[in-house]
Chain A
Amino acid sequence: GEDVEQSLFLSVREGDSSVINCTYTDSSSTYLYWYKQEPGAGLQLLTYIFSNMDMKQDQRLTVLLNKKDKHLSLRIADTQTGDSAIYFCAESPTNFGNEKLTFGTGTRLTIIP
């Protein structure tokens, strides 16, 4: 079956850029997503990218997709304490009628003052 992998932890100094990486195995992925989970809360969509795109930028967030290597990354510029959370990568397959997401393990981002 499909598999999505992420590192479990990342620590970054406040003001630096954070880069969270994700690899996936399903070559038929249509959309890839980044979700954020703050303590005590559910997952909230941060951004997504369509599989025919290489990059998407949204304010402090930059998503890079390398479809050949099946690698997705999320860069957060000027990381702030409010960015402390768990970040999940997820992918959705192409075949209509099979709209399940496969999630990674999540990366816990810790901000160092």
Chain B
Amino acid sequence: DADVTQTPRNRITKTGKRIMLECSQTKGHDRMYWYRQDPGLGLRLIYYSFDVKDINKGEISDGYSVSRQAQAKFSLSLESAIPNQTALYFCATSGGAKNIQYFGAGTRLSVL
């Protein structure tokens, strides 16, 4: 089983809909992250959490919100989806001094 699991893997939704992307991990890490990947732009950080009571905005948090329900779970919500939020979304976790991040397989989101 994967250490970092994202659901769903693919999602098509309509403009204005609220959707949630979920991430769970079995690595026992405190730190969790949500990124967005767009062609030619690399990975951009949306939100990150260093423990259950800690939530921080990344560089592109507008239009997104997160919830850290437990150490192992970190979900990303789009309150009112818009077409320019069409992208590949990744969840990651890290722990330890080397700050190596472990990624889920990604969620491909299309907003029509």
Give the B-binding residues of A (Cβ under 8 A): 1, 4, 6, 8, 30-31, 33, 35, 40-45, 48, 88, 92, 97, 99-101, 103-106
Contacts and interface: CB of A to CB of B under 8 A. Distances in A.
Contact of B94 (A40, A99, A106): A99
A92 B99 contact: yes
Interface residues of B, number: 25
Contacts, number: 52
Contacts of A41: 105-106
Interface of B: 4, 31, 33, 35, 40-43, 45, 48, 50, 58-59, 90, 92, 94, 98-106
Contacts of A6: 42
A88 B42 contact: yes
Nearest to B95: A99
Given A31-B98, A99-B50, A42 B45 contact: no
